[in-house]
Amino acid sequence: MPYVTRDGVRLHYERTGLAGRELVLVHGWCCDHRVFAPLVEHFRGTHAVTVPDLRGCGASDRPDDGYDIASLADDVAWLCDELGIADPVLAGHSLGGMIAVELAARHPRLPAAVVALDPGPITSTAEARQVFSGLAAQLEGPAGEAVREAYVRAHVVGGLEDEQARAIIDTMCAVPLDVAAAVLRGTVAWNGLAALVLCQAPLLVLLAQARGSNAPERLLAAKPDVRIGVTVGAGHFHHLEVPDQVIPMLDRFLCEIRANGAEAFE
């Protein structure tokens, strides 16, 4: 397995595809690189595709700290530097979408563009922060394992086929509860609005539901040039449920980025 080591923490990644145009895929809460299989299969023919396992997840190390959004974004930026990845398109799902926006704000010279696939709350509401704070507290309680599985079943994997849902549940429930809770607390503390305002890279947000913390009007108020797409008939893992909708929208966005800034892909 390929690894890079940052401050004693080994970060696992997978890399495939054609040299040249760079695409970096960042997974969500308690997931790993495997959740991007349809995207990897499609884009490996036109891009060099890199998919890391975030710290605490997959085959990466599970240190005691570093689970706030800024630290996770710095991990991804550091990995790109170590691997010589320049001007990538960063595409993140769920938590990964939040990380990609934060990375663009903190490291504005790195990404050519950012894609957020049904991201976690960027312009977070008080209700969303309350939900995640409460879930983190419950995960740290005596029934933490049962609470996590019930939450994932009810709010995360709805819409997936049984086999896909079971694989996602198993993956998410394999992450230590203290890591899962620490990441949730990091999302509550994150100032997503500030990161969105500072994100100068072209941004595409693909939503499964156009309401709540990521309602289009909230995103557009902070970043008027954001591109927004909404999938139909799918849940949170829409890149797995309806890749026939997600991939064409990604393709169009990437073609537009190449047309408006081709030097970033050469």
pLDDT band of 261, cuts 50, 70, 90: low
pLDDT given at position 91: 98
Do residues 141 and 8 make contact, with C-beta atoms less than 8 angstroms apart?
Answer: no
Please, what's the largest Cα pairwise distance for the chain?
A: 54
Do residues 72 and 42 make contact, with C-beta atoms less than 8 angstroms apart?
Answer: no
> What value does the mean pLDDT take over residues 209-237?
94
pLDDT value at 265 more than 60: no
> What value does the mean pLDDT take over residues 253-264?
75
> What value does the mean pLDDT take over residues 180-198?
97
pLDDT band of 19, cuts 50, 70, 90: confident
Of 96, 95, 74, 106, nearest to 23 (Cα)?
96
pLDDT value at 20 more than 80: no
pLDDT band of 64, cuts 50, 70, 90: very high
Do residues 88 and 111 make contact, with C-beta atoms less than 8 angstroms apart?
Answer: yes
Report residue 127 CA to chain centroid gap.
Answer: 21
For the stretch 134-145, pLDDT in tens is 999 999 999 999
What one-letter code names the amino acid at 51?
V
pLDDT given at position 230: 96
Distance between CA atoms of 69 and 31, rounded to whole angstroms? 15
Instruction: Compute φ and ψ for 11, nearest 5 degrees.
Output: -115, 120
> What value does the mean pLDDT take over residues 208-221?
92
pLDDT band of 266, cuts 50, 70, 90: very low
For the stretch 74-124, pLDDT in tens is 999 999 999 999 999 999 999 999 999 999 999 999 999 999 999 999 999
More confident residue, 11 or 212: 11
